[in-house]
Amino acid sequence: MLVCAICWFSNGMSQGLFERSVALASDGSSVKRITLNGYARGSAYGGSEAFDYSSLFGEFCLQGRWTGGKTFLFSDIRIRGGWNLGNTFTSFQLKEAYAGYSTSRLDLFLGNQIVSWGRADGFNPTNNITPNDYFFLSAHPDDQKMSNFMLRTRFRLSDKIDIDLIGIPVYVSSVYRYDLFDLGSGVEFVEATLPEKTFRNGSAAARLNVELSKIGFSVSYFRGYDPFHGYHVKQIDWLNDYPAISNSATPYLKNTVGADFALPLGAWIFRGELAYNITADYDTNMYIPAPSLAYVAGFERNIGGITAIVQYVGKYVTDFTALNEPVLSDPFSLAARMQYAGDRIRYEASLFNRKIFYQQEKTNHAVTLTLSKSFAYDTWNVELSGYYNITSEEFMIRPQVTWKVTDALSLSAGGFYMEGPIKSVFRYSGSILNGAFLELKANF
């Protein structure tokens, strides 16, 4: 089917459209255009504690864009197959596919889309729209972004001010493989507990964006289920005096009010972003984080040909309550021991959820650093990214080198390493995600 589509577009449809495009242009009418591009790549990722070969796959991508007058369409189709986290796979992914209508004042798009809000680098507390597959391993972090089916409307009040409105009818959660974590014997993750597909459980977002000559900023609002989620203890069964624990990934409902800005000052670019997250029932549900203020502040500057981005990432929990560690009241009572074991399981799960949301303390502080430099007329590019959480003592480092062999062929190599204290999120994740990667990519 894909081969037929390519042949149809390249040999028949595209030729006819380009010929008609020239004819229409000579008449002074609207021009219709079609553009096809894509790539093929091979990707290898491995060397973790859990997997010698974490991910091995070949992928073909075809992107198509068509414009005709005020009508617009875009599609991004990806076919891949190989080995991923212990399983062979062949998958067809419709990364994006949407139709649109565009005028000088109005854009209207409907379909599978990827929309990212926020001006900070990598950490965007105002971006609650785009889910991520955190366990898709490749040389490009943007590969982890997933699309939502949505209706997006953008009103341009002027050439500097626009209003973005988004409606998402069906919730799509991020992929976070808690089931791969070694949380101890008798612990399993069952099917996720997802919200029903109803009007009430849809998401809505709005943003007012301003782009001036000396500053860009926006204010935004989101109401819906957060794509990033925790989990809850669904069931505890007692078998031969040992508990069998069933956990279920569970999203939560929230409201978010946010703002961001980018301010160029000479050779410096200052960026900031903050979001206030409002939640309910967090005191009785471990998978719901408490209300909090998340914020990012940083700067970008070119120093001797090296682009440096430094950021501070923080979180303040406005209604923080410390967890009470359970105590065994009577060691000689079977009922008391079972009660203590159940309370202990829920305590550890609640504590881990707080670690997931960076709410194990009232405040959380982290810093990030990204350095990049190009050589030999952009033939080589070297990048180094690092993250350190001062509060939890977790850290991450990611070096990468890209060689542009030809205009259409590139080779990328690098690594990823994360670590943290015992029972930290980075310690569990690192055993799976750490490793080195290599990618050869041909574009057309």
Q: Are 243 and 187 in contact (CB under 8 A)?
A: no
Q: Would you tell me how many other CB atoms lie within 10 Å of the CB of residue 437?
A: 22
Give the strand order in the sheet containing 242-250.
Answer: 187-190, 242-250, 230-239
Q: pLDDT for 81-120, tens place per residue?
A: 999 999 999 999 999 999 999 999 999 999 999 999 999 9
Query: pLDDT tier at 39 (50, 70, 90 boundaries)?
Result: very high
pLDDT for 178:
87
Q: Which residues of 374-409 are buried (b: 16+ CB within 10 A; e: fewer)?
A: beeeeeebebbbebbbeebebbbebbbebebeeeee
Does the domain made of 103-443 have the CATH classification 3.30.310? no
Helix (H) or strand (E) holding 48: none
Amino acid at 249: A
Which candidate, 403, 437, 402, places its Cα nearest to that of 43?
437
Q: Are 340 and 325 in contact (CB under 8 A)?
A: no
For the chain, the structural domain boundaries read 103-443
For residues 223 and 29, give the distance between their C-alpha atoms in angstroms, rounded to a whole number: 42
Which is higher by pLDDT, 236 or 14? 236
pLDDT for 93:
94
Beta-bridged to residue 148, according to DSSP, are 113
Dihedral angle, C-alpha 231, 259, 200, 98, nearest 10 °: -100
Q: pLDDT for 140-166, tens place per residue?
A: 999 999 999 999 999 999 999 999 999
Chain Cα centroid distance, residue 292? 20
For residues 179 and 227, give the distance between their C-alpha atoms in angstroms, rounded to a whole number: 18
Q: Which residues of 342-366 are buried (b: 16+ CB within 10 A; e: fewer)?
A: beebbebbbebbbbbbbbbebebbb
Token digits of residue 240: 């031969």
Query: pLDDT tier at 30 (50, 70, 90 boundaries)?
Result: low
pLDDT for 3:
46
